[in-house]
Amino acid sequence: MTDLTRRYAKACDLADFRDRRLLGVLRDILPERDPVTHVERKVWEFAQLAMSFEDLGLLDHRSRVLGVGAGDERILFWLTNRVGEVAATDIYGSGDFASREAGGSMLTDPSAHAPFAYREDRLEVRWMDARRLEFPDASFDAVYSLSSLEHFGGPGQVDLAAREIARVLRPGGVALLCADVLLRRHPLNAAPVDLAARAVSLGTKRRTAGLRRRSVVAEALTPRELLRHVIEPSGLELMQPLDLSVSPETWDNVCRLYPDGRQEPATGSFFPHLLVQVDRSVLTSVCVPLRRGT
């Protein structure tokens, strides 16, 4: 296996979208969009995955790749054209995303979700809870998860998924995990605050709050949670030091997301869409490349 040629262990940044290789990869994955103007963190996650797999020699017709919480993301279909086998797993047809990314029809008719022609014989779609992966130990060369870990049920639950991801990786295999990380967490966006609000409202407000679980901004990990509940329990080795710094220009267009789904970008322009403010805190995507020791 070869080495990484660039920094992948980082937060999403506007400067990344000036990189010719990243723009080229995005043109390949999303040919219908101009990556120079369509600057958003979801496509950045695709590019991180595609470039790191290329660096590591994983875009090879012998590779077995597992997507965890994969939904119907287009990178699944893109990968089938470049690797030997792709297993897509999610709780398809159940949970909060059943009518969105994780529709039950992915189990019966994945081709209806494909944005372009793909190698149907190389894609296996299975209903599977990330916390209990039904694959033998060491069965994949690479595992990836995009924008999903933070939805697995809170810190205690994501630990289980992190262990499972490590278990199914072969020695020397790689896990590429992208998740929503809080770059700024306001002190009021904390589990004890939400729990107190729940108690005071006799359980009518912030219903999902727990001792260790925020109710507001629940679906993003703090850097500490990322370390404690993903990286450490996985037992995998972080392939590069994690850089969570973000350039000042990236901060220029923080997009405020309201509970009713309304979005209000600071500049009035939707793109670049990289930082999101939820309540008083700000999140973006982070990419974490991990390797299983040999």
Binding site for ligand SAM (CB under 6 A): 69-71, 73, 90-91, 95, 97, 101-102, 129-131, 146-148, 151-152
Q: Are strands 263-265 and 10-11 parallel, antiparallel or unpaired?
A: unpaired
CB atoms inside a 10 Å sphere around CB 225: 21
Buried b (16+ CB within 10 A) or exposed e, 11-43: bbbbebbeeeebbebbeebbeeeebeebbbbeb
Closest approach of ligand SAM to the CB of residue 277, in Å: 18
Buried b (16+ CB within 10 A) or exposed e, 245-258: ebeeebeebbbeee
Q: Which is nearer to ligand SAM, 18 or 33 (CB)?
A: 33
Closest approach of ligand SAM to the CB of residue 21, in Å: 22
Closest approach of ligand SAM to the CB of residue 177, in Å: 11
Q: Which is nearer to ligand SAM, 111 or 269 (CB)?
A: 111
Closest approach of ligand SAM to the CB of residue 2, in Å: 26
Residue 264 to residue 270: CA distance in whole angstroms: 8
φ, ψ (nearest 5 deg) of residue 15: -60, -25
Q: Which is nearer to ligand SAM, 213 or 251 (CB)?
A: 213
Q: Which is nearer to ligand SAM, 9 or 161 (CB)?
A: 161
